[in-house]
Structure 1
């Protein structure tokens, strides 16, 4: 039998005001001079000011790096590394959405290494080039419920020179402590609650659909989707509902735990389009979701039957799941087509070629050719489901 190598997450603290445990967590990890990597939209919020004030010795002048965008670039990682080294920091506290967590993890990995960022791209055994003793410890506090980067061993960073996203990987990039505090998510606007929530769904769904054998991940994915079905509409309509916010944080973490089983064409296209158009990753996955499901339809009958029963959908099988996805997108006011996001067909061949080569493509239920990716892209561009 082929040997299988499975990894599961790190220590996770869940609950209202769990972020108040940050000082104790830093002390436990022997982090005395953390660099706070914080989403720039959050830097001046009361929640972040409170977190910084709770860190012993930090006060309002705690060292913060927030010079990055929603799709962090290699240049921004280098800027963060300079800040880390200049300040003599010994750990990273990453607070925010996927961009904050991804860039924080990349800084922690690369700052003290002899190699540059792209030398740790997730190709072959590149990760073995790193001196693990030099990787700074990471504490992750997500403020959105979508990417699940807090339990990931990789970062997605945009290579602006080549207009593509690259996955930077090392097992030790996994945060040593995750703090899931729903009070940090209550101010997330409804449209971002929707986009990030459907990003969490995309992770659970693509992991479930992946043909790789990983029954534990598959079980986590199917329960993650059940939580999203129950709680995303509530979080969207009532952002102050702490139960819904908590369950969505958990579902997001479950999705990123499950997708070690694999992702697929949804993420392959989203990575490509995100790098070229600088669009929100979760929103791209939300738009692409039904089109990719249809492209894989004939290989998903048994899985969709099981999923429809588990989710207690009105209609069983593939059609039931597709109808649920379409209705959920409509309920959350997600655009139906890529063209509504400002995407055009000028680079469709390059987009198809790049998507086919994306690391996520290998987890799709079937291998899609460049021509199939181009057709899939055009269906999503025009808003036409290939039924």
Structure 2
């Protein structure tokens, strides 16, 4: 089945369908860009799709720079270097092109383009967002090449503070890209392992938003349907990377997860953030491994909600156990390791991880307010594979 090409205007202008990347120069021009900077990661920088995007901009009279010095967990130094490249090249807009790391870095670079304060002054704490000089920001067109973070429809970036060994969330409402292009043809070359890890990241966003105790019925509806799409299409995308329908539906489910988590995230992310900072591990893989252990820890608070979700997903058993069995079966079928020890993370830092998790911004919307010892216990269970 050939995917549809459609335009949506929620939560921003979203252009969906195969081949929509051809419209990139037009959308850059619509935002007033004359010299965009394409921000991507080192793995994509030399790929034909990046060369083609830049060539299309050049042909349309838009000289297009390239910045790709971004780590898998982007750092404050990466953002500073990107801002320097943007200013030196006299660029007036950003094309955020790639996976979550590139998109997060690109949005932070666009935010910082004309700021006088340092990056960490805009951490999502209290009313720090009021410090932003909005006139100093430049517009962003976001082009995701993975279906996981949904950063293309997010109003924040997760950036690692290497000096403090923590991930910080940089936030401003205007960080939401003005135009998003969801072109499934750009994701067909993603390896099965990364398709699986990023897809489980999308599931974690939808699931944690759904499980949050805060009142936001619209987010709940989006999250539930996002999880149905993942159930139906993630195995297909992993098994056949050129399945355009599956690729497009996963891009949509990823964007839905990031839209839904305005309701909040939870313990998966509260743990994944410090683990990513300490071990430089892939964020999606961390969430994928942590998922069943956090579900088990939250069971007493979310049992009724999970039963309703299992019923909507048409699982064989509309029960907490039925949902857990589905999660475990999905992980196994797409090659996700069962425990953190399988990716080289051991429990000797449990106390530190617990202390970092309890103060992470995502902890505040977990269904149960775990203390540091509680987070350390979940982490240790995930290391050992103990459910």
For Structure 1 versus Structure 2, the TM-score category normalised by the shorter chain is: over 0.9
Q: Alpha-carbon deviations, 1:158-196, whole Å to 9, x = none?
A: 000111100000000000000000000000000000000
TM-score, normalisation: structure 1: 0.96
Q: Identify the residue that residue 294 of structure 1 maps to in structure 2.
A: 296
Question: 1:134: how far off?
Answer: 1.4
2:356 matched to which residue of 1? 354
| Structure 1 residues not aligned, in runs of 5+ | 1-6
Q: For 2:204 and 2:213, how far apart are their aligned partners in 1?
A: 16
The corresponding residue for 2:227 is 225
Judge conservation of contact 1:94–1:140 (CA < 8 Å) in 2.
yes
In 2, the alpha carbon distance for the partners of 1:60 and 1:74 equals: 28
Q: Decide which of 133, 138, 162 is 1:136's aligned counterpart.
A: 138
CA displacement at 1:58 relative to structure 2:
7.4
In structure 1, the partner of 2:37 is: 35
Q: Is the 8 A contact 1:52 1:59 kept in 2?
A: no
Q: Spell out the pairing of 1:1-387 with structure 2 (5 A cutoff).
A: 9-57=11-59, 62-385=64-387
- State TM-score, norm by structure 2: 0.96
Output the CA distance in 1 between the equivalents of 2:46 and 2:373: 47
**In 2, Cα distance between the equivalents of 1:118 and 1:245?**
35
Q: Cα RMSD (Å) of the superposition?
A: 1.4
2:4 counterpart residue number: none
Give the ranges of 4+ consecutive aligned residues of structure 1 lying more than 2 Å apart after TM superposition: 56-62
What secondary structure does 1:115 align onto?
coil
What's the offset of the Cα at 1:60? 12
Whether the 8 Å CA contact 1:142–1:150 is kept in 2: the answer is yes
CA offsets, 1:132-162, max 9 Å, x none? 1111101100000000000000000000011
Change (3 A) 1:308 1:126: same
Aligned length: 379
Separation (CA, whole Å) in 1 of partners of 2:14 and 2:193: 27
Cα drift, residue 21 of structure 1: 0.5
> Secondary structure in 1 aligned to 2:157?
strand
Q: Give distance in 1, aligned partners of 2:49 and 2:356.
A: 40
Q: Distance in 1 between matches of 2:369 and 2:13?
A: 36
**Cα deviation, residue 263, structure 1:** 0.2
Q: Give the SS at the match of 1:55.
A: helix
Structure 2: give runs of 5+ residues left out of the alignment.
1-8
C-alpha separation in 2, matches of 1:71 and 1:214:
30
SS in structure 2 opposite 1:296?
A: helix
